[in-house]
Amino acid sequence: MALFRKKTDVISADLASQIGESEGLGVQLRRMARKNKLAVASAVFLALLILAAVFVPLLSPYDAVNGDASIRLQAPTAAHWLGTDEMGRDVLTRLLYGARISLAVGVVPTLISMVIGVALGVVAGYAGGKTDYIIMRLADVMLAFPSLLLAMVIMYTLGDGVMNIFLALALVGWASVARVARSETISLKETEYVQAARSIGVSPGRIILRHILPNCLPALIVLFTLNIPSAILSESSLSFLGVGVKLPNSSWGLMVNMGRQFLYNAPWISLAPSAAIMLVVLSCNFLGDGLRDALDPHLNNE
Amino acid sequence: MRKHLAFVLVLAMFMSLAAIPAYAAEEEKVLNLAAESDILTMDVALTTDDYFIPHNVFDRLFEIKVQPDGSTEIVPSLVADYSVSEDGLTYTFKLVEGVTFSNGEALTASDVKYTFEHLLTVPGACNYDIAQEVAGAQALLDGEAEELEGIVVEDDYNFTLTLEAANAGYLAELTSPAMSIIDKETVESVDGFGMEPADTIGSGPYIVSEWVPNDHFTLTRNENYWGEAPDADVVVMNVVPDANTQNLMFQSGELDIIDLDALDASIIDSVYKTTYADSIVPGYRVGVTFMSMNENNEFLSDVNVRKAVQMAIDRQGLLDNFYGGDGIIQNGMIATGVWGHNEDLEPIVYDPEGAKALLAEAGYEEGEISFEFSLDSSSGDTTAMVYQQIAQDLAAVGINVDIVSYDESAWLDFRRTEEMPAFIGTWTMDYNDPANILGTFFSNSTSGRSLNYADQEIKDRVDAASSIMDDDERMAEYQAIEEAIVVEDAAVVPLYERAHLFCIGEKVESFVPHWAGFSNFFVRDVEMK
Amino acid sequence: MSTLKSIIRRVISSIPVLIGVVLVIYLILRILPGNAILTMMGEHAREDVVQQISAELGLDKPWYVQFWVYVTGLFTGDMGTSIKYHKPVSELIAAYFPVTIKLSVMAALVAWAVGILCGVISAMRKDRLADRLGMGFSLLGISVPVFMTAMVLQYLLAYKLKWFPIQGTKEGLVCYVLPAIALGWSSAGSVARLTRSTLLEVMGSDYIDTARAKGRSVPGAVVFHALRNAMIPVITVMAIQISSLLSGAVITETIFSLPGIGRLCIDAISGRDVPLLQGSVIFATVLVIAGNLVADCLYSVLDPRIRKEG
């Protein structure tokens, strides 16, 4: 019995077994592209944003750090599409530079937490018994913490810095992944082909790598897409509270924090990064939903 | 269950709506104020920040009075009469008779002596600089004495105070909030002095009636106050960390006086200097905002580098762009409004090309000089912007600074180690005498300021100056010292004295800010309609 | 009888989690690189001073000895003394937590009311405009950062329209309405989506399709009947919300200047107050565990199948 449940539990536990071996990932993704326009639009938006963030030095004539204080807090104009900020810097340019950190904060800690969570979850599910008990109680413990508070405490201990945010969010996020990976593993363990492989003496490591992990993949991809937004939101909350990214680095959360006092006379400074956070989170959610619909026929009751 | 939920929700809404009108109808004159952070203690011996309660709930031997022309004067408060010995060491005081604490106990000479002892010996004491100047303070601190030898109580109202070394500015120091007189019997008999409102007894115009931590505290008028009664019956100090929220509260009438210090210049320009132009109460934070340059630092130990930094910063640009021009550029440490301020000090000129040339001449390559610029992240958004702008200005002459943010206490701890390379500090005068700022930063007793000012002769002169009993001579000496520090040694970059603006609401008739522009002003200087 | 037994079993099974929580926080604050005592004193603190302070706080002893001292202290309600406030941590928490409780309960009410309403409407009008609007509204709640919602609500409803106080708690429960809406909206989304999908499942899509084919909307009575069954998984999700509500409370308490546990944590961090930070995080986590326990118990009472299995 699990004491705590996360939204990811809603993803059907026996999902992998439903997918079967017949359909490849590519086929499923193409089907999604046909059926779910919103998910496709989201994927395109995210791709464009990543490109813009990578190539912003080529795209923008402005500097990310140095501004012209004499034109601070200017409303959007043809020269500054999203206006200027409190230091007289171009908000759009800052937004795209900030996207580097914010997107990285979405992806990197999520990846780390996936690796930790999958490793522990698969081991727990496959080994069962005491190993399972210990790992899952540890997951219970991690899930019991209000995630933002735990991230704050970890940031406090590690000190500021983007790397530390990665680590803090990864440490906070692995437990829910382990939950899903474990239940996937348990249901896959009972399938005929795994049973067959075990009976002819295939080593556990090989079974996990060859049979269990590949079949967990669809569920994990969905989980990955759905966990990115929460990492982005956590970072923005941490930075907003002043325990996340700090000057002179910039992330969307920090931009909102710095622009907060101008919400009433120069709202573009904080609204632009807020809207960016919202759009990215929405896109990830749409994409995650689309992937789930495509990869998990069981939930396709719509 | 669903129905119940809905019912509870609706009920909750109604109950809360019903609570509003009860709050509005009050006959009393209530003054609503807001502070960015809560006080940590009401005992002034344990804080160098939380001065609102000391100012309004306690009295001092002397006070500073602002004259109509803006100048300040030291006036006796609890003292009826006093004299100073020829050598400037011994002060004879006579207290005003009939002064009582709010619990009815008389304020006597032994309370004054106890105040000094409390400042020195209470666990966690941090505000003892002034008390420490009294003869015998060290023995008391070291545990070699039971009482403070330098204060001799003659009777209830007469006592003498002997200093370890003469200090011409000592009466000015006695006006500091640190020197608030406490009641010996109360402090000795209760557990919660400084923490519990009922146990925190003073002789001032107000009584602390309630303290809800991190929410608000309330002062009510002391009906038995020995002096002139203040106008407001009740003072509510709300803890509102966000300056923007304070702004909204003031505009909707929930605050009667707003401290505009934390608001961005753009908001002051667009809202206050337009809609509330007639209600702005101008004033200055008497003191100086400066950039420190630690002489222990590899690069900053070179006077040429320090001079280049002085020349590279566009101080007028900082003041105009980030403070809406509300302030006065300072070329020295004895700021405008401080006794002994020197108008004729050589101005520091903004000259980036000159700075570059100076660095090249001194043999530095572009980008060779770099040091950390340490930011206290609690010091406000505008300060953070000033840091970024200074970094930009310095980069323009080839000096790279790394802005590193610290939490307030980590920042203070770092500075205490004497290793912080550079920071921006604002010194607001505790009492109006140059000794306050020069003694803090450039004397032999300076410690933990991360300046490491190296000129021993000047440090000795700072220490010696306070015992020059002739005021003109003393001020001339301070001005000479200031010139040596700022112009010759370029030990700091004086930036500006910032204006400290307040805005009063409809319920307030008039308000005179604290003479030095403290946020913790005297409520007795507020007149209500 | 069996219900009581299962409740007791659940309570017992949460004890190792509780101990784990205390251990994890304790270790994070003491063992991770960037030793918290050093952090407390600034990274440039002198070594001898650090050692002296460590000895004073008993930190020179092995960590398991310190942990034992701390845990035995916890059982007597002793959570140490706050460095910043010079008061027992337990006393501070007792003073601050009612605010957080009020805020969280009201936010939960908002989340559930909005979430269930959106979910029901969406299910009844499946694939029509109302469905899309309902789902869009609740998804937006998940996606907009809580601080943005809070600041916009504060500006529009409190400052412009003057319907609510701008900040503080002086005016009673009405002060909690805006923070609760900001906080609740962010949790409403998952409740709405779950309500919708379980409702659809319970009612059976075919039934609705038939109703619609006949040009009728789904009768309210049917929905309400279905809702009753659909509530069971929803309650579980509500329990999960407690954790995210407490996380979000940190932000809303900051914006609306409410003196709650979240503010206490922020205070503890900026004041480098390790005992206070440790105490308030542990306390918040205990609230989450307790909330989950209650939900588990409710779940087993409401759902006979679980009860039988349990």
Q: Given a cut of 70, is residue A296 above it in pLDDT?
A: no
Give me the residues paired with residue B33 across strands: B237
Q: Given a cut of 90, is residue C257 above it in pLDDT?
A: no
Q: Among B19, B215, B241, whose Cβ lies nearest the Cβ of C172? A: B19
Residues of chain B that touch chain A, judged by Cβ-Cβ distance less than 8 Å: 242-244, 247, 263-264, 266-267, 270-271, 317, 321-322, 375, 377, 381, 384-385, 387-389, 391-392, 395, 402-403, 405
Q: Given a cut of 50, is residue C50 above it in pLDDT?
A: yes
CA atoms within a 13 Å half-sphere pointing along the CA-CB vector of B206: 28
Q: Which residue of B has its CA nearest to A66?
A: B392
H helix or E strand, kind and range, residue B427: strand B424-428
CB contact under 8 A, B321 and A72: yes
Q: What's the average model confidence in pLDDT over A124-141? A: 91
d(C-alpha A235, C-alpha B462), whole Å:
50
Residues 64-103 of A with CB under 8 A from C: none
pLDDT the model gives residue C220: 63
Q: How confident is the model at residue B153 (pLDDT cuts 50, 70, 90)?
A: very high
For residue B318, which amino acid is it?
L
Q: How confident is the model at residue A19 (pLDDT cuts 50, 70, 90)?
A: very low
- Chain A residues closer than 8 Å to B391 by CB: 248
pLDDT the model gives residue C213: 62
pLDDT the model gives residue C206: 60
Query: What confidence tens digit (pLDDT) does each residue in A246-278 have?
Result: 776 788 988 988 888 888 888 899 899 999 999
DSSP state of B121: H
State the smallest CA–CA distance between residue C271 and chain B in angstroms: 6
Pull the structure tokens for residue B380.
Answer: 């406000």
DSSP state of B174: T
CB contact under 8 A, B248 and C154: yes
Q: Given a cut of 90, is residue B80 above it in pLDDT?
A: yes
DSSP per-residue string spanning B211-257:
EETTTEEEEEE-TT-SSPPPS-SEEEEEE---HHHHHHHHHTTS-SE
DSSP state of B65: E
Q: Which of residues A14 and B490 earns the better pLDDT score?
A: B490
Mutation site, C100, C169, C174, C253, interface B, largest B CB count within 10 A: C174
Indicate the pTM of the whole model.
0.83
Tell me the torsion sign for CA atoms A161, C272, A252, A114: positive
Burial class (CB in 10 A: 0-12, 13-18, 19+), B36: middle
Could you tell me the CA-to-CA distances from A51 to A58, A59, B75 in Å, in that order? 11, 10, 69
What is residue B160's three-state secondary structure?
strand
What is residue C170's three-state secondary structure?
coil
Query: What confidence tens digit (pLDDT) does each residue in B83-138 have?
Result: 999 898 999 999 999 999 999 999 999 999 999 999 998 877 788 889 999 999 99
User: Among B189-198, C160-169, C223-232, C277-286, which stretch is predicted with the lowest mean pLDDT?
Assistant: C223-232
Q: Among A3, A154, A285, whose Cβ lies nearest the Cβ of C28? A: A154
Q: Which residue of C has its CA nearest to A233?
A: C145
State the smallest CA–CA distance between residue A302 and chain B in angstroms: 27
CB contact under 8 A, B249 and C167: yes
H helix or E strand, kind and range, residue C123: helix C89-124
B448 touches chain C (CB under 8 A): no
Sheet containing B257-259: give its strands across: B257-259, B502-504, B280-281
Q: Given a cut of 90, is residue A226 above it in pLDDT?
A: no
Give phi and psi for B183, each to the nearest 5. Answer: -95, 115
CB contact under 8 A, C270 and B238: no
State the smallest CA–CA distance between residue A242 and chain B in angstroms: 8
CB contact under 8 A, C288 and A144: yes
CB contact under 8 A, A153 and C246: no
Q: Among C190, C200, C251, whose Cβ lies nearest the Cβ of A237? A: C251
Q: Is A98 in contact with A156 (CB distance < 8 Å)?
A: no
Average pLDDT, chain B: 90
Burial class (CB in 10 A: 0-12, 13-18, 19+), A243: buried
State the smallest CA–CA distance between residue C186 and chain B in angstroms: 18
Q: Among C171, C173, C263, whose Cβ lies nearest the Cβ of B23? A: C171
Range among A206-215, B13-22, B423-432 with highest mean pLDDT value: B423-432
Residue % of chain C over a pLDDT of 90: 10
- Chain B residues closer than 8 Å to C105 by CB: none
- Chain C residues closer than 8 Å to A281 by CB: 142-143
Query: What confidence tens digit (pLDDT) does each residue in A88-119 have?
Result: 899 999 999 999 999 999 999 999 999 999 99
- Chain C residues closer than 8 Å to B234 by CB: none
d(C-alpha B303, C-alpha B362), whole Å:
10
Strand duo B492-498 + B369-376: pairing: unpaired
CB contact under 8 A, A248 and B271: no
State the smallest CA–CA distance between residue B115 and chain C in angstroms: 21
Q: Given a cut of 90, is residue C221 above it in pLDDT?
A: no
CB contact under 8 A, B264 and A70: no
- Which residue do the tokens 């490591």 mark? A205
State the smallest CA–CA distance between residue C162 and chain B in angstroms: 8
Could you tell me the CA-to-CA distances from B276 to B79, B279, B325, B519, B521 in Å, in that order? 41, 5, 18, 20, 21
Q: Is B168 in contact with B88 (CB distance < 8 Å)?
A: yes
Q: What's the average model confidence in pLDDT over B259-272? A: 90
Query: What confidence tens digit (pLDDT) does each residue in C86-130 have?
Result: 788 999 999 898 999 999 989 988 988 888 888 888 887 777 888
Contacts of C95 (CB under 8 A, 6+ apart): B213, C259
Q: Which residue of A has its CA nearest to C243?
A: A146
Prediction ipTM score: 0.83
Residues 111-150 of B with CB under 8 A from C: 124
Q: Given a cut of 60, is residue B142 above it in pLDDT?
A: yes
CB contact under 8 A, A261 and B271: no
Q: Which segments of B240-380 does DSSP mark as H helices, in order?
A: 243-251, 265-267, 303-312, 315-323, 352-361
Q: Among C36, C250, C292, whose Cβ lies nearest the Cβ of A4? A: C292
What is residue B380's three-state secondary structure?
coil
Burial class (CB in 10 A: 0-12, 13-18, 19+), B278: exposed
CB contact under 8 A, A144 and C144: no
d(C-alpha A233, C-alpha A250), whole Å:
15
CB contact under 8 A, C42 and B378: no
Q: How confident is the model at residue A11 (pLDDT cuts 50, 70, 90)?
A: very low
What is residue C103's three-state secondary structure?
helix
CA atoms within a 13 Å half-sphere pointing along the CA-CB vector of B201: 21
Q: How confident is the model at residue C167 (pLDDT cuts 50, 70, 90)?
A: confident
A8 touches chain C (CB under 8 A): no
Q: Given a cut of 70, is residue B320 above it in pLDDT?
A: yes
Q: Is B248 in contact with C153 (CB distance < 8 Å)?
A: no
C-beta neighbour count of C305 within 10 angstroms = 9
Q: Is B135 in contact with B149 (CB distance < 8 Å)?
A: yes
User: Among A16-30, B219-233, B322-336, C1-15, which stretch is predicted with the lowest mean pLDDT?
Assistant: A16-30
Q: Is B182 in contact with B114 (CB distance < 8 Å)?
A: yes
Contacts of A55 (CB under 8 A, 6+ apart): none
Residues 213-232 of A with CB under 8 A from C: 229
pLDDT the model gives residue C222: 65
d(C-alpha B263, C-alpha B323), whole Å:
9
Count how many pairs of residues, chain A against chain C, have C-beta atoms within 8 Å: 154
pLDDT the model gives residue C298: 76
CA atoms within a 13 Å half-sphere pointing along the CA-CB vector of B483: 12
Give residue limits of the domains in chain A. Answer: 52-65+96-299
Q: Among A149, A153, A157, whose Cβ lies nearest the Cβ of C246? A: A149
Query: What confidence tens digit (pLDDT) does each residue in C205-216 have?
Result: 566 566 656 655
Pull the structure tokens for residue B181.
Answer: 């007189």
- Chain A residues closer than 8 Å to C284 by CB: 145-146, 149
User: Among A230-244, B4-18, B374-388, which stretch is predicted with the lowest mean pLDDT?
Assistant: B4-18
B304 touches chain C (CB under 8 A): no
- Chain B residues closer than 8 Å to A89 by CB: none
CB contact under 8 A, A146 and C20: no
Q: What's the average model confidence in pLDDT over B377-402? A: 92
pLDDT the model gives residue B16: 46
C154-164 as b/e, with b when 16 or more CB fall inside 10 Å?
bbebbbeeeeb
DSSP state of C176: G
Q: Which of residues B474 and C238 earns the better pLDDT score?
A: B474
Q: Which residue of A has its CA nearest to C197?
A: A301
Domain A52-65+96-299, architecture per CATH: Orthogonal Bundle (1.10)
Give me the residues paired with residue B170 across strands: none
Q: Which chains touch B (3 or more CB pairs under 8 A)?
A: A, C
Q: Among A152, A263, A301, whose Cβ lies nearest the Cβ of C151? A: A263
DSSP state of C232: H
Q: How confident is the model at residue C225 (pLDDT cuts 50, 70, 90)?
A: low
pLDDT the model gives residue A24: 66
d(C-alpha C65, C-alpha C24), whole Å:
15
Q: Given a cut of 70, is residue C68 above it in pLDDT?
A: yes
State the smallest CA–CA distance between residue C15 and chain B in angstroms: 30
Give phi and psi for B448, each to the nearest 5. Answer: 70, 25
Sheet containing B287-292: give its strands across: B327-329, B492-498, B287-292, B424-428
What is residue B79's three-state secondary structure?
strand
For residue B420, which amino acid is it?
M
C-beta neighbour count of C64 within 10 angstroms = 9
Q: Given a cut of 60, is residue B518 above it in pLDDT?
A: yes
Nearest to C261 by CA among C92, C40, C140, C130: C92
- Chain B residues closer than 8 Å to A258 by CB: 381, 384
Q: What's the average model confidence in pLDDT over C278-295? A: 88
What is residue B280's three-state secondary structure?
strand
Could you tell me the CA-to-CA distances from A191 to A121, A128, A220, B20, C112 in Å, in that order? 18, 16, 19, 64, 39
CB contact under 8 A, C240 and A5: yes
pLDDT the model gives residue A257: 85
pLDDT the model gives residue B17: 44
pLDDT the model gives residue A301: 37
- Which residue do the tokens 């990976």 mark? A181
Query: What confidence tens digit (pLDDT) does each residue in B483-515 have?
Result: 999 999 999 999 999 999 999 999 999 999 999
Nearest to B388 by CA among A86, C41, A73: A86
